[in-house]
Amino acid sequence: MTAAFPSPAGTVNERADSLLSGPSFETKMERISDHEMLLNMGPQHPSTHGVLRVVLKLDGETVTGAVPDLGYLHRGVEKLAENRTFGQFIILTDRDDYLCAMLNNWAYCLSIEKLLKVEIPQRAEYLRVIAGEMNRIASHLLFIGTFGIDIGAFTPFLYAFGREREMILDLFEQLCGARITYNYVRIGGVSNDLPEGWVEKAKKFVAHMQACLKEYDDLLSYNPIFMDRTKGIGVLPKEKAIAYGVSGPNLRASGVPLDLRKDAPYGIYSKFQFSPAVRQNGDCWDRYMVRRDEIAESCKILEQALDGIVAGEIMGKVPKVNLRPPVGEAYAQLEGARGLLGVYIVSDGGLSPYRLHLRAPSYINLATLQEILVGWKVADVVAILGSIDIVLGEVDR
């Protein structure tokens, strides 16, 4: 490695500058040594999961430097919130992390409810847990499928994405009329009650899902080639994970048992019996297995919630129009499918938020990439990128 490229010695910012500043991408070719090459991965690439761009410096097939380049999907969601009423903004949280929109709705509503100090009816709490856990399963299913594609196994994708996730979307469609962007969790409750026969269908799905996990294990999780491709690859040590502020399944895969549903229960999570999925090594396989285990845990929660659901109202006493929370600020967070999903909101007593900030877990998890990609092969880059499980809608906001 020549001194022309100050990696990995320089700070993260210096490295980003050296790769990304300047008039065009091609001019950087002169700044690397003659046995290396820059590979522009993305924003149009089959396995960057959206419009992420990663600039890789390669020595043969070994990565010697990596800088993620973000912002291709930036829509200014946080600024848009300042021109919408509190109720109107829920539909934009759907589009933030579009793979677990229910949890985004919920996190946003949680923060406003904290400002309003409103009481949520028990049935609405149950419905939120059911919808949220189902969406978590749907999100993890998509992860399992796309991770399989990243490793080169196409078939699990169509099992997880085309069969099981489709069932969840069908259930959501019956619940709230939408399959991706639900706008289901509202300030003070939820929008729709359960349709007839929904609970039975949901129970049937949970039983089906638990049976399907074995199929995934046979096909993917314990496949020798898959384990060879993921075990010991892209290790994220515990200390580094904490230092980067990584959360969710990625953190739990590194051996830190932090799960807000257990450690700081919100809603009615303290009622349910479950144990957060934790693995110790922090490699790609552990990150995969944590999500696979989490599906099983979510199924347990769903079983309890579907059995214990109570009758009653689904909406608390919140004004439908002219909602003006008191002046102040609130921060609420919950365990999203990708980590701590936090919403910080400042109200000046008006119709719309004065300022809103989303703590997007994939954005923070993504920051670890430049550290853990170095030293691995091009094929591992895809595996590591897939195992971090980012959603660009949330990263770029």
Partner 1 sequence: MALGPWTVTGPWVPSQTSDALRRRYTRSIIVLAAILLPLLGLTILVGEPDTYFHAALNFINTFVASKGGPAWIGQAVLIIVPCSVVLTLIQVLPVFLVWWEMKIAAHIQVRLGPMRVGRFHGVLQTIADGIKLLLKEDLVPEGADKIVHFIAPLVAVAPALVCFAPIPLGHAGLAPVKLDVGLLFVLGVSGLSVIGLLMAGWGSNNKYSMLGGLRAAAQVVSYEIPRVIALLPVVMWAGSLSLGQIMDKQAGLWAGFLPKWFIFYPVVGQISFIIFLISSVAETNRTPFDIAEAESELTSGFHTEYSGMKWAMFFMAEYAYMFLACALGAVLFLGGGGALHPKLSFIPSYVWFFGKTFFLAFLFILFRWSYPRLRVDRLMEFCWKFLLPWSLANVALAGFLFLMMRSR
Question: Which residues of this protein are in contact with partner 1, per CB under 8 A?
Answer: 37, 39-40, 45-47, 61, 148-155, 158-159, 162-163, 166-167, 170, 173-174, 177, 193-196, 208, 219-220, 223, 225-226, 228-229, 377-382
In whole angstroms, give the CA distance from residue 94 to residue 67. 29
Find the distance separating the first CA and the last CA of the chain, reported in whole Å: 36
Q: Which is nearer to partner 1, 220 or 337 (CB)?
A: 220
Helix (H, G, I), strand (E, B) or coil at 309: coil
Q: Which is nearer to partner 1, 173 or 263 (CB)?
A: 173
| Least separation in angstroms between CB 58 and partner 1 | 8
| Least separation in angstroms between CB 229 and partner 1 | 6
Helix (H, G, I), strand (E, B) or coil at 389: coil
Q: 62 burial class (0-12, 13-18, 19+ CB within 10 angstroms)?
A: middle
Q: Which is nearer to partner 1, 106 or 288 (CB)?
A: 288
Instruction: Answer whether 224's CB lies under 8 Å from 145's CB.
Output: no
Helix (H, G, I), strand (E, B) or coil at 147: helix
Alpha carbon 378 to its chain centroid, in Å, reads 24
Q: Which is nearer to partner 1, 194 or 295 (CB)?
A: 194
Q: What's at 155, amino acid-wise? A: T
The 8-class DSSP code of residue 4 comes to T
In whole angstroms, give the CA distance from residue 45 to residue 199. 41
Q: Which is nearer to partner 1, 96 or 283 (CB)?
A: 283
Side-chain-side CA neighbours of 23 within 13 Å: the count stands at 2
Q: What value, to the nearest 5°, has the Cα angle with vertex 165 and ends 223 and 219?
A: 10
Q: Which is nearer to partner 1, 37 or 243 (CB)?
A: 37
Burial 249-283 (b: 16+ CB within 10 A, else e): bbbbbbebebbbbeeeebbebeebebebbbbebbb
| Least separation in angstroms between CB 378 and partner 1 | 6
| Least separation in angstroms between CB 36 and partner 1 | 12
Cα Rg of the chain (Å, integer): 22
The 8-class DSSP code of residue 329 comes to E
Q: Which is nearer to partner 1, 96 or 150 (CB)?
A: 150
Q: Which is nearer to partner 1, 218 or 239 (CB)?
A: 218
